[in-house]
Each structure stands twice: as C-alpha cells, then as structure tokens.
Amino acid sequence: MIKYSATASVLKAFSLNKSTRQLYRALGNKLGARSRARSAMPAYYMERVQRMLDLSHRYPLFGDRPRMLELGTGWVHWEALTTRLFFDIQADLYDVWDNRQFDALKSYVTQFLERMDNLTGLAPEQRSRAASLCSYERLGFRYVLDPQGILANLSSESYDIVVSAGVFEHLPRAGVPDYIRQTCRILKPGGYAVHSINTADHLHLYDKSTSPKNYLRFSDTSWRLLFENQLQYINRLQRCEWMAIFDSAGFVCREEFGSRCNLDNITVSKQFRNMDPVSLETTSWYAVYQTPA
C-alpha cells in the first residue's frame, strides 16, 4: 500500500489548482507521447479491434454508411480509427480537450497493419481497404471539442452508433445519469451504444501488490479525503449501477460481459456490501445497448 498511497498523494498535489493540473498534463502528454511512439502497441489494442469485428457479425452496426460518434477519444481514438479502416462509416470524435498524440497514433497504426493478419472474420476487401486508407486526411474525421463535455451541442437522433473505451469511469458520478440520457437522445431509433468501462482501481496500476478492486475497501468519505484526485478521477460505479443507469435512460441491453478478479484478500466497505458479488468482482465491463426502434 506504500506506492499506492504515495501515488495518490502525488496526484492530489498536482490536482491543487489549474496551474498544477496544466503542468501535470503537459508533462504527461510530452513524456507519454514519446514513450508510446517508441514502444510496442499493447496487446489489448488488437483485442479491441477483434471485439468490434465480432460485434459487426452479430449486429447490423455498419451498413448503409452509418454515422459514428466516439466519446472521449484520448490519445489515438482507436475505436473510430480502426472501424473506419474496415467499414464505410462517417466518424465524429468528441472530447473535452485535444489530447491526440499523432506520433503514437502513427506508431500504433504501423504495428496494427503488421498484425492485421491475426484478426479473424476479416474479408480480403477489408484488408485491402485498411491498407489503402492509412492516411489520416483520407479518413475524414470531424473533431468536436467541448470543454463542458455534456453533449448538449449535439443534435438529437443524429448518430447510428456511439462508442467509448475507458471513458465513462472518469465521468463525475453525479452527472453520469444525465450523460447516459444524452447519449440515448443523440442516437437514432434502433441505434447502438457500445461501451467498454474500466471498473478497476486505477491506482492499482502503480502498486500491483494491491487488489485490482482495492478501492472497495474505502467509504466515500475516506476515498475522497485520502485518494480521490481530479487528474485520474474514477467514479467507482459498479456493473450493477451502470446497468441500472442505462436501463433508466431508455436503453435496451443486447449483451454485456466483463473481466473479474478475486476479492478474498480485501474487506469490502459497508457501502458496497449490498451489491452482487459479480459486480464487485468486475474489473472491466463491456456492454452493447440499443435504443428502441
């Protein structure tokens, strides 16, 4: 727990004011971009592509030139990018600030093309299409920046599919229900929402001796005082809570699954104990929802 607590303290210190937050992001972007441009693409990036390809065989996601919105695109807007390589879609990229890292993007795309033969369910014409489209200008993305990040500036029923990866866990907890309602509003009737949500404790990445769900040990008060920060904020919402929020927004669940961990070595805080064990053990949650037709 020493590295875990020390990391939390550093992040809280950088969260003190606007200047310290800007310094942290500037350093993180510069160092992170350099590291990603020089390193191997993580294996789970290929898994994300395979997952979307598999979904395209189960659901009519990409017919008739659909319009896709990727929320919280971050460094490399991977979902929109790789989907655009294989399918004739229009894609908008939405974020609260421009965090794109083009050197990392070029490196990852180069490595992706080298590994493309490892993907299953890919037609020969899709492989050719991907190779011919690997010019950022040819992809035709529209980049939408909204510092408020509340989707209010997007028109109702304007998208066929909305996707996100590792974004929703960072939304302010109090605003999550309205945000999910907004994603329902901007989707066309029968539109799809495909989201991957990381429900693990992000501080675990800095201290692997802790549980991937270590934050379950702490009450809201303890978490807020000792560990919560504005730079790597996580809302600690669990699988069952996400499902209830999507249901109340008007979505229909088509499928959901996730990765889980063992919680035998931690004492769960009282506020989480009434939740089902599967939700508490879930470290990453993947869901496909649809708006009523």
Question: Mean pLDDT across the stretch 261-276?
Answer: 95
- Write the pLDDT tens digit of every residue in 223-245: 999 999 999 999 999 999 999 99
* 26 — pLDDT class (breaks 50, 70, 90): confident
> Strand, coil or helix: what is 20?
helix
pLDDT for 131 equals 83
Q: Is the pLDDT of residue 99 over 90?
A: no
Which residues, at least 6 apart from 257, have a Cβ–Cβ distance to it below 8 Å?
285, 286
Q: Give the Å distances, CA to CA, from 187 to 160, 182, 194, 289.
A: 6, 9, 12, 11
CB-CB contact of 204 with 4 (8 Å): yes
CB 75 within 8 Å of CB 169: no
Element housing 220 (H / E): helix 220-226
Query: Residue 1 has what pLDDT?
Result: 86
For 20, 144, 170, 248, 281, the CA distances from 107, given in Å and listed in that order, are: 30, 24, 26, 41, 34
Question: What pLDDT score was predicted for residue 136?
Answer: 66
User: pTM score > 0.85 for this model?
Assistant: yes
Distance CA 215, CA 250 (A): 30
pLDDT tens track for 146-157: 988 889 889 999
Summarize pLDDT for 211-228 with one digit per residue, the tens: 999 999 999 999 999 999
pLDDT reported for residue 134: 67
Given a cut of 70, is residue 41 above it in pLDDT?
Answer: yes
